[in-house]
């Protein structure tokens, strides 16, 4: 158990807790040595929780904006970070802020830098999930999706041949993603994990960073179920990222983006159903519908088994929410 009172007064404990994300960490906004700060108290639920401070320093070193670490007390599982405010990309989109497009481009610039410079500057001393996006991790993501979203969430039965065909297709997808250039990726690059301050996008919640394909991050951001991005804007941002990494925005890049997006959306859907059904956080279920709509879209061209399943799941989710197409 944390001794919160050792670092925070009663007022801060009562009034300043930030309700954030689906994990077990607790965040408080309070002054630290006369400056605004965010206090993070974590536990051992995930190994990666211990890596935040080291990764924050690493991101600063390679020029990727992130909050500065003011105090790191691992023995007490406490991290005190620079307070970058409460304006994230989710807020900018919700308020239709005039600088929203600029903020997204800034975020993509940061991702491009991480993907280009991260791996080559990664030292043995940098704390990171070293297993990376390997075949076992990709399988964990799709199993998480099938268990929580399909089998237990929407309860859509599959025959043995259907499940075998789906598994073969998704295993091949994982193989394809591993063939792509491997880069250092944020891993949870969605709108609530990017803060906007002083004209720059700053990344947070990067403790799960690992080696994989950068397209996973780009798909996380541009097909984020938390926000609505028009197809026209998504295309412009996709082309902007391609320009930043020096590749043509052609059919090959589109295919890489779509297939990485399918993998990411499966992981997100597994999380939404798990958190809503098993962690007492029902608000996450609201994101399942846009996530399934996106999954139907990105799987249409190259993943026929997943596409057919996603269409069934979308129909079932619409029925459960009494939502008809185009209603």
Render pLDDT for 150-169 as a digit per residue (tens, 0 to 9): 999 999 999 999 999 999 99
Residue 326 lies in a domain: no
Q: What is the pLDDT of residues 50-94, one digit of tens each?
A: 889 999 999 999 999 999 999 999 888 999 999 999 999 999 999
**φ, ψ at 291 (rounded to 5°):** -65, -40
Number of domains forming the structure of the chain: 2
The domain containing residue 69 runs over which residues?
A: 4-82
Residue 183, SS3?
Answer: strand
Check whether residue 148 and residue 13 sit in a common domain. Answer: no
Are residues 227 and 204 part of one domain? yes
pLDDT of res. 4: 61
Q: Would you state the pLDDT for residue 131?
A: 77
Instruction: State residue 175's pLDDT score.
Output: 98
pLDDT computed for residue 20 by the predictor: 65
Same domain, 180 and 116: yes
Task: Assign residue 56 the CATH number of its domain.
Answer: 3.30.200
Task: State whether 177 and 213 are in the same domain.
Answer: yes
Inter-CA distances, 278 with 22, 96, 157, 286, 313, Å: 11, 33, 21, 15, 20
Q: What angle do CA 162, 277, 259 make, to 5 degrees?
A: 45
Same structural domain for residues 165 and 26? no
What pLDDT score was predicted for residue 195?
97
**Cβ atoms of 296 and 316 closer than 8 Å:** no
**Is residue 313 assigned to a domain?**
yes
Is the residue at 123 inside a domain?
A: yes
In a domain, 327, yes or no: no
In a domain? residue 325: no
Separation CA 153–CA 239 (nearest Å): 36
Q: What is the pLDDT of residue 325?
A: 61
243: pLDDT strictly greater than 90: yes
**Is 211 a member of any domain?**
yes
* Confidence category of residue 237, pLDDT binned at 50, 70, 90: very high
* Vertex 30 angle, CA 28 and 34, to 5°: 155
| Domain annotation covers residue 17 | yes
Q: Which of 24-28, 43-47, 91-95, 308-312 has the lowest mean pLDDT?
A: 43-47
Span 97-127, pLDDT tens digits: 899 999 999 999 999 999 999 888 887 777 7
Residue 255 is part of a domain; what is its CATH number? 3.90.1200.10
Q: Which sign does the torsion angle of CA 188, 244, 301, 162 carry? A: negative
Q: What are phi and psi of 171, to 5 degrees?
A: -65, -40
The mean per-residue pLDDT over the stretch 196-220 comes to 95
Residue 166: its H or E element: helix 160-179
- For residues 227 and 197, state if they share a domain: yes
Lowest mean pLDDT among 16-25, 96-105, 200-209: 16-25
pTM (predicted TM-score): 0.92
Are residues 275 and 151 part of one domain? yes
Among residues 50, 82, 114, the one where a domain terminates is 82
Mean pLDDT, rounded, for 248-277:
97
40 and 158 assigned to the same domain? no
Query: What's the mean per-residue pLDDT of the chain?
Result: 91
Domain boundary among 30, 54, 82: 82
Q: What is the mean pLDDT of residues 304-309?
A: 98
Q: Are 195 and 114 members of one domain?
A: yes
- Per-residue pLDDT, 230: 95
Average pLDDT over residues 217-237: 97
Same domain, 12 and 106: no
Choose one of 56, 82, 108: the last residue of a domain. Answer: 82
Angle at 43 (CA atoms; ends 143, 267), nearest 5 degrees:
20
Per-residue CA distances from 158 to 43, 143, 265, 315 (Å): 38, 14, 20, 15
Write the burial class of residue 186 (CB in 10 Å: 0-12 exposed, 13-18 middle, 19+ buried): buried
Same domain, residue pair 122 and 40? no
Calpha distance 313→215 (Å, rounded): 25
Instruction: Say whether both 220 and 176 belong to one domain.
Output: yes
Q: What is the pLDDT of residues 166-205, one digit of tens each?
A: 999 999 999 999 999 999 999 999 999 999 999 999 999 9
């Amino acid at each position: 158990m944390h001794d919160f009172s050792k670092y925070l007064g009663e007022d801060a404990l009562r009034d300043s807790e930030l309700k954030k994300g689906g994990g077990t960490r607790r965040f408080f906004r309070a002054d630290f040595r006369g400056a605004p700060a965010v206090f993070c108290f974590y536990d051992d639920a995930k190994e990666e929780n211990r890596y935040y401070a080291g990764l924050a320093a690493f991101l600063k070193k390679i020029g990727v904006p992130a909050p500065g670490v003011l105090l790191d007390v691992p023995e007490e599982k406490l991290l005190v970070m620079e307070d970058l405010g409460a304006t994230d990309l989710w807020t900018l989109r919700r308020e239709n802020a005039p600088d929203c497009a600029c903020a997204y481009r800034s975020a993509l610039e940061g991702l491009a830098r991480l993907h280009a410079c991260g791996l080559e500057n990664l030292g043995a001393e940098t704390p990171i999930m070293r297993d990376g996006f390997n075949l076992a991790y990709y399988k964990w993501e799709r199993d998480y999706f099938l268990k929580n979203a399909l089998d237990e969430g929407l309860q859509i039965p599959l025959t043995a041949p259907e499940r075998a065909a789906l598994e073969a297709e998704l295993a091949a997808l994982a193989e394809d993603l591993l063939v792509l250039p491997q880069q250092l990726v944020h891993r949870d690059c969605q709108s609530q994990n990017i803060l906007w301050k002083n004209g720059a996008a700053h990344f947070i919640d990067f403790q799960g960073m690992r080696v994989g394909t950068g397209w996973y991050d780009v798909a996380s951001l541009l097909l984020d179920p938390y926000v609505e991005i028009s197809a026209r804007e998504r295309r412009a941002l996709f082309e902007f990222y391609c320009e930043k990494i020096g590749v043509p925005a052609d059919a090959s890049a589109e295919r890489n983006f779509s297939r990485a997006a399918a993998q990411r959306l499966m992981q997100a859907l597994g999380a939404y159903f798990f958190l809503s059904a098993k962690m007492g956080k029902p608000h996450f279920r609201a994101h399942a519908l846009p996530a399934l709509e996106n999954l139907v879209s990105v799987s249409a061209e190259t993943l026929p088994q997943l596409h057919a399943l996603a269409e069934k799941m979308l129909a079932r989710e619409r029925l459960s929410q009494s939502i008809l197409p185009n209603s």
